[in-house]
Structure 1
Amino acid sequence: MSTVIYWFRNDLRLLDNPAFTQACQAGTRLLPVYCHDPAGDTVTPWGFARTGAHRRHFLAATLADLAAQLTARGSTLLELDGRPQEVLSALAQRLGATRIVCEYIAAPEEQAEAAALRAAGLNVDTVWQSSLLDPSDLPFTTNRLPDMFTTFRNAVEKAAVLPPAVVPIPAVIPALPDLQEPVRIRSVLAPVEADARSAFPYQSSACAGGATAALAHLDQYFNGQLAHTYKQTRNGLIGLDYSSKFSPWLASGALSARSAYAALKEFEAEQGANDSTYWLWFELLWRDYFRFLHLKYGRKLYRANGLADPDLAAPTHHPAMFARWCRGATGEAIVDAGMRELAATGYLSNRLRQIVASYLIHDLGGDWRAGAAWFEAQLVDYDVTSNQGNWLYLAGRGTDPRGGRRFNPQKQAQDYDADGAYRALWSA
């Protein structure tokens, strides 16, 4: 009997998971596995833990939901502690398995993990599945990807490129191999205290990690008229409904971009399309663009200067100033309010993300890499490609044709918090 290991990474779902479906067809035995890499416990060069409490708790809920789905279908989720190249190699040897199937992630660390497993003699089949559009359907190869998003979007729309259909949950999941020992159930993390001001209260059942809550939220979002007003409300700062809030589930892979798109098209077919529903497609394309940039540039996106001139002066880190930014103690009210919300809840609106990032880079003269690392530690919707792409863009070291974006914090406050309600809400 052939045994296949399925390695869950940032695709923590069964619906629309082509890699998992492929694994179910590849052997007579299948063992689903998730690795808790100790790299997440390390301290960054900037002096804080790489993964904070909010991210840990949202991940724990997501994994619990995935495990429940697998158990209901006669399988299980084996959670291992250790570096993937070590624990998966040892597991494969114990089971007599030679094949691992997983999703393809274009970021450098994730690429190195798969390469290390192959170097250990294992067959690792990686399947690209995290984007809305398939790279092979684009009107250009990824190494010729336009360096401007607008050029990319126009070409995609002119060619009428559409996403592949949603892949259903496999009707049958192969039986488990004989593990010869019980699957260890990970202890539940102590709850993080919920903050009633949160725009994404992940401690609630409606915003919990996992595909169950993700699909319920998708139904709820498209059940009313929120999608028809999205473009007008998307720059809001307070509450759940000003934006779609798909991003936490997209980031963990509990929800696929293609499932979100399918729900959007169903809504448009029943309720009609407008500028707001188009904008949801537009932002899913931005998410794709950052993924495709990783296919084109890879490690270059992780240099201090990113895609900019290598001779450009490296960004400067100012520890005391950076610490005040993280605490929300810069003295700039809109920035401080945003940083307090982020630390208290693990979430921040897209508008505030741009404001606080711009302030660190352009007003404080700080190192964009430290800011990107702080977002990585805090955000429940941290996504490696989008986080890196957005910070590079704002810093003028990515693909922004303007060479960087500075947002005037006073003007931003006047435009998006004219009555001061947000600043008052997060004044402490």
Structure 2
Amino acid sequence: MPPFVSRLAVVALVGSLTSCSLLPGDDDPDVERDRTGAGPVGDSRAITDEDLDAVEDLLEVRAAALVSGQRRRFMATLDPGNPALRRKQRVLFDNLQKLPIDKLYYGLDVSRSRTRVGTDVDARFSPRVYEHLELGTVFTRPVSNRVSMRFVQRDGRWLVAGERFDEDDAPQERPWFGGPIEAALGDDVLVVTDEGADVGAEELLDSTLDALAETAAVLDEPDDQALLVDATTNGRPVRLSRASGQDAGAVTFTVLATDREGDDVEGPAGTVVKANPEYVTQLVDDDRTLRHELVHVLLAEYGETNPLWVTEGIAEYVAYQPLLLARSVATDDRLVEAIDDRRVALTSADDWGKDPELDYLSAQAFAEYLISRSGLVTYREMMDLFDERGRRRDVSRGRGLVPGVLREVYGLTPAEVAEGGFELLRGLDR
């Protein structure tokens, strides 16, 4: 979705249409360190089945302690000689106690790491670990996250020696790992924010439920949607696109469940709206960004079969209701000049994200043009046809399908739809 800054810029330019906290790195003095001497010394040898059984038993105890709220039992799974680790793991424990956990378990993938480093007394082991966490009715399956953990053997006993956020191999969605959080649950919507944030979890939950009801009413969809809204600084920053490098106000995505070892995807676990914590106050004061994301949530059935100008266009159209471009005026000459310089064409998937402000604004114009001609029901018929043909031909983002779908549903060419949208945009200069 557009960055909130661009959303503010569009408001300033268009109408104004009038009518992620990363954990400390290796150079951080508070980073998790082995303070008791175990290190890459002595002989390396293959991890034995006995070692694996011991690590798996340790993770089973850890998971049970987190689910049942047994702090002492959980802390006993940690390396006692690593105070930095223990501080961060206390935060993880406290965060998870605030969430409606139904199920938590871990899996090990040792296909890439079966070597232990160190002496026979003190050794270290860093397998791939997968955390599987199910959150009540918010997720239909446990969300599976790759977590960067390492283990140390102290006097024959395996313990957790480290856990960190890895930017290069980040989990799908894990806001409970990092800094302290607040959580609020309403219906099947769970909201998490940073502890002590200017806009807390309860306030953001109220705004989300209101926006969800409004959006569902416009789309004639039920509003009993399960959803996680993450407005924490934990994890990756919210990026709009690699091409622009801009931060987004919010993004929506589906998280997946895998088998225990992380090898095979078993299906979707749930839907997440990741809100940029820097813009949460604006999200609450002006809920258009929330409504945009909630359109994607409610229309998630289409996956990635539709062109981006179709899915982002309907999201912008609904988000700005009842404001229409046809009744708006640009108040900044820069917008008018940018529109004049823009090529009159439907934005392809390959070009999307190079100019985010105009990508989203032109998509809104294309959607408004089509809906004003034939209504929202026909627009959804177009989306259904893109979805059906995209799945049948195994293509994404409507590649190769646009001329045929537009001709069948509207009797129009892509050039005619593009010109209709740009006529609305040019009308802003009046």
TM-score, L = length of structure 2? 0.24
Q: Which has the larger radius of gyration?
A: 2
State the structure with bigger RCO (CA 8 A, min sep 6), 1 or 2.
1
More strand by share: 2
More helix by share: 1
TM-score, L = length of structure 1? 0.24
